[in-house]
Chain A
Amino acid sequence: MDSKQLAWLIRRHGIEMTHLSGGSHIGAILSVADIMAVLYSDILKYDTTNPKWCDRDRFILSKGHAGGSVYAALAESGFFAVDELKTHYQNGSRLSGHVSHHLPGVDFSTGSLGHGLSAGVGMALAAKKDKKQHEVFVVLGDGECNEGSVWEAAQTATHFGLDNLIAIVDNNKMQSLDYCVNTLDAGSLYDKWFAFGWNTFVVNGHDHDALRDKMNTIKNGKPTVIIAETIKGKGVSFMEEDILWHYRFPHDGWEYDCAVNELHKIKPDGVQDIYTPNGIINPKLPDANEINKDIHHTMSETYKPTWNKQEA
């Protein structure tokens, strides 16, 4: 499976998992989908028959709320049955909303922001001490970079010359309630990481070739960070850059139907949609008189009544 196909499947599973469970964070799953797909298709060394293989690359999804993306990537890569994805959030499931290591292929549990990079620094430092060749990858959110511990980890990685560590920031410009710039304006993330001594790159986070090109360590004694410019909700037009979809899940009706059909419009050849193989025939469409009466969650300027886009 190539990274384009995997990215599409992550998005499709993300819609289904949040739809079935009423789970949050579809916007983040969609923004990080391409990053996850490139990692699991082309970059990470792993062995699905031996998830604890000692020479595997380590991976931490520090923005654990996008857990649906890693579950989909793991299932499609063969760590467990794709069918299990339907249990996401459900009673008795292994797939908690935020990433749990009680699942094959997960190296580290996350969910509280600002922990993952430090753990990755520890893994990379141990690998250096033991002269191991594997690499450590950590995906963070841009909102997550509010956490001071991220910067504790950033300077530690530089201090110890951890050129076996790659961080990827899913720079989707939004956090829980609003745009990042309206929340805690961090200025330029590039300037910050660069000032902390990292090899720093900015790429289009939905351009697989660009991501692949930079997801290699540079053996110059410095850790590497890729600031991946992404769009929150990428792939479903009415979810894009609308903070509503940080928490809202695609409900029965037009939200689910339109999300599925939009994905089908961009479905790459060679992938199967196990839920709705041919998309949804006769989808429900939004009715401006009925929808969104009860979802005024936010004062943010990013809150946009989503039917406008659908009508357009």
Chain B
Amino acid sequence: MQVSKLLWVKTNLKNKKLYIILVLLCITILILSVIFTIISTKTYIKHKKSSSQLWNISFVSGNYPGIKLSSSSENLVCGIATANFTNVTVSKSNFTTTGDGCVYELTLQNTGTIDASLAIISAQTPNESKCTTKGSNMVCDSITYKIAKDKLGNKLLDNNSVLPSGESMKVYLTVMYNGANTENTSQSGAGFNLIYVEE
């Protein structure tokens, strides 16, 4: 009797686990489907007939030293942005005075045959910092990170920005210190993901 009771409990638990996995999978697929539908305006089937279509969005590779903003102090040290195809890594920078800031000029290129549209800009917040993000602008404590279409940072890179096939555009990464901290601080892990889809 006890053995059959144990068996019953074991089977029931196993069923519950399976149900949970099932529900989670369904939710995941639902979310992915919604995102896929929102960001994709044409289906892959349309391009099946053309064998010469090429999808290629990237940064122009190279090392790009940061340029000090005009409001910066002499002690500011800017890093170097290293662009490698779809990744950009900016090395360490050191700020000392309110107004210190570095701008990195990069070039986005569409060397494919399909026009691209910027569908999603998602920000990665740095460690142990309180951030407010809005598109390509992120403010974390006293440090501001942004991606803009102009050097002064007034025209933020926004969703639905189009990069036609065969063309390139300048984008400017800005990191700026606007605080009056009385203690040294450090942030790491800040970043942005730009997701381009066909226009």
A, B from the same assembly: no
